[in-house]
Amino acid sequence: MNCIQKEFTISAKSRGFHSITGEVISNLPNISNIESGIAQIFIKHTSASLTINEDADSTVLLDFESHFNTMVPEDQPYYRHTYEGSDDMPAHLKASLLGSSVQIPVTGGKLNLGTWQGIYLCEHRNHAGDRKLVVTIWGS
């Protein structure tokens, strides 16, 4: 078995959900050497997150943004962490609901995703900067 790792940056995105499957695949280090293993993608931020979902119809991305805004509304009276703006505390909550990493099987040198699956970058801030990701691949 071996383990390879690479850190890279995704340029700033607008608030919402974005498919980054192609961008992640182009940054996977030497995945073709792995017959059976796992690729992890990790985001080093607390107001953006990663998830796996439907990668064919872009209205799914829009509905994710609408629903998360309803389920985690801004300006709730019980928020105390408010000094970074109305979008900040909801961003932290959404980030934990979705998670900081995805772990995907690698089979025959490729990500073994289902037919419809892709990787989303979930940007929860109104005016975010670039986002740092770490890819780690291990297997035999």
Residues near a second copy (CB under 8 A) are 1-5, 7, 36-38, 40, 42-46, 51-54, 57, 59-60, 62-64, 66-67, 70-72, 76, 78-81, 89, 92-93, 95-105, 107, 112-117, 120, 132, 134, 136, 138-140
Instruction: Output 14 or 57, the one with its CB closest to a second copy.
Output: 57
**Which DSSP letter does residue 41 get?**
E
Cα separation, 104 vs 121, whole angstroms = 15
Instruction: Output 4 or 25, the one with its CB closest to a second copy.
Output: 4
Query: Cβ of residue 129: shortest distance to a second copy, in angstroms?
Result: 12
Instruction: Output 23 or 79, the one with its CB closest to a second copy.
Output: 79
Token couple for 17: 């959900």
Cα separation, 96 vs 88, whole angstroms = 13
Query: Cβ of residue 43: shortest distance to a second copy, in angstroms?
Result: 8
Contact between 98 and 53 under an 8 Å Cβ cutoff? The reply is: no
**Angle of CA points 94, 89, 24, to nearest 5°:** 40
Beta pairing partners, 118: 53
Query: Cβ of residue 69: shortest distance to a second copy, in angstroms?
Result: 9
Instruction: Output 12 or 62, the one with its CB closest to a second copy.
Output: 62
Contact between 53 and 120 under an 8 Å Cβ cutoff? The reply is: yes
Query: Cβ of residue 102: shortest distance to a second copy, in angstroms?
Result: 7
